[in-house]
Amino acid sequence: MKIGVLKETAQGESRVGLVPASVKTLTGKNHAVLVEQGAGLAAGFDDAAYTEAGATCVSRADVIAGADLVIKVAVPSSDEIAGLRRGTALVSSIYPKRNPAVLAALAQAGVHTFAMDAMPRITRAQSMDILSSQNNLAGYKAVVVGANALGRVFPLMMTAAGTVTPAKVLIYGAGVAGLQAIATAKRMGAVVEVSDIRPETKEQVESLGGKFIWVEGLDQVKIEGGYVAGASEEVLKRQKEAVEKSLINADLVITTALVAGGTAPTLITADQVAKMKRGAVIVDMATEAGGNCAVAKPDETVVVNGVTVIGCNNLAATVPAHASELYAKNIVTFLGQIVGDEGVKYDLNEEITTATLVVHNGEVRA
């Protein structure tokens, strides 16, 4: 089978769908790999490395014309979709709930589309889960970005000139990104508090040295498939009040909360930002999905009442070498699932395939 890798065209997207090591794995399984010239340069992988791994580096037009299956990282633009060949299979990020127009365009173009972000939350799909691999890196980088913007150090320091108290970090959300942010902030010496509506995350937070903000009734929250299915208004009110006490004293706040493929919830209002201390920093990791902070702007830094608010759309792309390596491993494992001896298997009775195949035979399935 011929597999193609396109160079990303989205602004700020420096990752690549396959790295040389993953190309070597695929060519070892008798697949031919076509890589667009320069596709890996922003991630630190030149054409010579791909060629040595067994790929053929060609023009974009040649990749599209020759590949049976095309790999991308970012959601395809309208121009990219228009350039794809009818009948091609596309494996990429799609975020179906946020991008109905993208799905419609792909269906009209006749492109069979697998959304890597729609991977089901089952054990055997964990090694294919791009959200986990990329959010892990993003959680680390969020702390680094926040620390760089903060006008104070993280750790406790006892010096001849006096004692420097540790920074107070508040993290909203204890998913993959949040847990990595906790671990990173703790390694840097901060005091870390964490808020999450899911009661089962308490043990994970505390195992990393964070303090979980618990409120009465949190153990009654309904969880389905790892996501919140229902919580009473009373519990939500209690949690907001409890978290606000930590918010107004925090030096750095990191928000990571997302709703599976949909719009991110607003967790910090403009009024709450106004209550925060001057010099504090907020890193909003969810601005691409609408943002968790009401005053955050996508990929922009704004200062409101002395509080620096940093909107981060795509932190994983700021560490493109490792992000690409992990993404490529997810892709190679996924291809092992959907590609057979005769090409792509569109087995709609198979759980992973039916969850990720969002466009097939000109129809939107998401």
Q: What is the pLDDT of residue 218?
A: 80
How far is it, in rounded angstroms, from Cα 346 to Cα 169?
A: 46
Give me the helices (H) in the chain, please: 20-27, 47-53, 60-66, 78-83, 100-109, 130-149, 176-187, 201-207, 233-247, 270-275, 320-338, 351-356
Q: What is the pLDDT of residue 228?
A: 60
Q: Coil, strand or helix: which one is 222?
A: strand
Given a cut of 70, the residues of the chain with pLDDT beneath it are 222-232, 261
- C-beta of residue 169 within 8 angstroms of C-beta of residue 194: no
Q: What is the largest CA-CA distance in the chain?
A: 72
- C-beta of residue 71 within 8 angstroms of C-beta of residue 93: no
How far is it, in rounded angstroms, from Cα 2 to Cα 5?
A: 10
Q: What is the pLDDT of residue 220?
A: 72
51 CB burial (10 A radius; 0-12, 13-18, 19+)? middle
Per-residue model confidence as pLDDT tens digits over 73-99? 999 999 999 999 999 999 999 999 999
Range list for CATH 3.40.50.720 in the chain: 2-118+319-359, 138-317
How far is it, in rounded angstroms, from Cα 94 to Cα 66?
A: 23
| CATH of region 138-317 | 3.40.50.720
> Per CATH, which fold does 2-118+319-359 belong to?
Rossmann fold (3.40.50)
Residues acting as catalytic residues:
121, 126, 129, 132, 227
Q: What is the pLDDT of residue 227?
A: 59
How far is it, in rounded angstroms, from Cα 255 to Cα 181?
A: 10
pTM: predicted TM-score of the whole model, two decimal places: 0.93
Task: Find, among 60, 58, 96, the residue nearest to 79 by Cα.
Answer: 60
Q: Per this entry, what is the length of the chain?
A: 366
Which residue type occupies 65? A
